[in-house]
Amino acid sequence: MTQPALLTDRAVLRISGENVREFLNGLVTNEMTKGDDAVFAALLTPQGKILAEMIISDGGDGALYVDTPAEGAAALMQRLAMYKLRAKIEVADVSETLGVVLHGAGAFADPRHDGLPPRAIAPREGVPAADGYDAARIALGVPELFKDYQPADIFPADAAMDWFNGVNLKKGCFVGQEVVSRMHRKGTLRKRMLPVRVEGGAPDYGVEVTADEKPVGDIRSSNGGDAIALLRIDRLEKAETPPVTDGRRVDVLRTGAP
């Protein structure tokens, strides 16, 4: 039996109050008003770039629990406070007592990819730190904020959020929707974060990837030879030679949804 393990770099926010689902539904990239399943979503800038990414689950106590990178938790709370205006909504950081526990009691499937371990919002005291989570995430090509990109740097499609069930373009309005919808409609999606395997081991974060001796992207997080790279799909398709980074061959494991 797999033992519970704590993701120490994740924070937990508790959002409660009147019409809490409707409140979040008007802000984030995914549908929050249909069903109680956990949802992967992002809060964007008005220009359509990712400010925060999160997995939102129902606590069964009338509140929603937001599993988000700890590094950006304070900024996310400030942004939510700005948007709530007169709404009777409360946002609290409950990370001192609750954590994101892989294989914890009441664990639910990770909404991004069924190859990732199930996770729960559960008491964190006494739970050992998770080991090997990032290796699994990188091998599956699942990007994460602060590990593969920084706030307000890239669009949801660049982070492949649409491939990992993080964007619903059929729902009502959300912050940044106009830009995201226009990019999708016009087919101007050129960059994607993709899983790659680097011969001899991946170089450091940010090292350039080239094809035909021209830049096509760069390496992001890595584990041994497995890495996530932000790549220009259009340039890769036209290249006559395989991509390389730091003199090492790069095999792109997929260029579409998993």
C-alpha pair distances (Å), 158 with each of 42, 106, 149, 167, 183: 13, 32, 10, 12, 11
Separation of CA 224 from chain center: 21
* Residues 216-226 pLDDT 10s: 999 999 999 99
Closest CA to 130 of 240, 14, 122, 220: 122
- Residue 47 pLDDT > 90: yes
Extract the tokens encoding 135: 């290796």
H/E run at residue 221: strand 214-223
Which pLDDT belongs to residue 185?
79
Tallying the residues shown for the chain, one arrives at: 258
The CA distance from 151 to 71, in Å, is 11
Give every CB contact of residue 255 below 8 A, 6+ residues apart in sequence: 192, 194, 233, 236
Tell me if residue 24 falls in helix, strand or coil: helix
Read off the amino acid at residue 220: R
Instruction: Name the band, by pLDDT with cuts 50, 70 and 90, for residue 188.
Output: low
Extract the tokens encoding 149: 């990109």
Which pLDDT belongs to residue 257?
85
* Residues 48-66 pLDDT 10s: 999 999 999 999 899 999 9
Q: Within 54-170, where are the H helices?
A: 73-84, 133-140
What is the arithmetic mean of pLDDT over 12-40? 94
Read off the amino acid at residue 33: T
Beta-bridge partner residues of 53:
42
Neighbour-count burial of 171, counting CB atoms closer than 10 A to its CB (0-12 exposed, 13-18 middle, 19+ buried): middle
* Residues 99-152 pLDDT 10s: 999 999 999 999 999 999 999 999 999 999 999 999 999 999 999 999 999 999
Which pLDDT belongs to residue 229?
98
> pTM of this prediction?
0.94
What is the arithmetic mean of pLDDT over 211-240? 96
Tell me if residue 135 falls in helix, strand or coil: helix
Instruction: Name the band, by pLDDT with cuts 50, 70 and 90, for residue 85.
Output: confident
Give every CB contact of residue 218 below 8 A, 6+ residues apart in sequence: 206, 207, 208, 209, 229, 230, 245
Which pLDDT belongs to residue 156?
96
Extract the tokens encoding 225: 């030879």
What is the arithmetic mean of pLDDT over 20-33? 95
Instruction: Name the band, by pLDDT with cuts 50, 70 and 90, for residue 1.
Output: low
CA atoms within 13 A on the CB side of 208: 6
On average, the pLDDT of the chain sits at: 95
Domains of the chain by start residue, with CATH: 5-140 (3.30.70.1400), 190-252 (2.40.30)
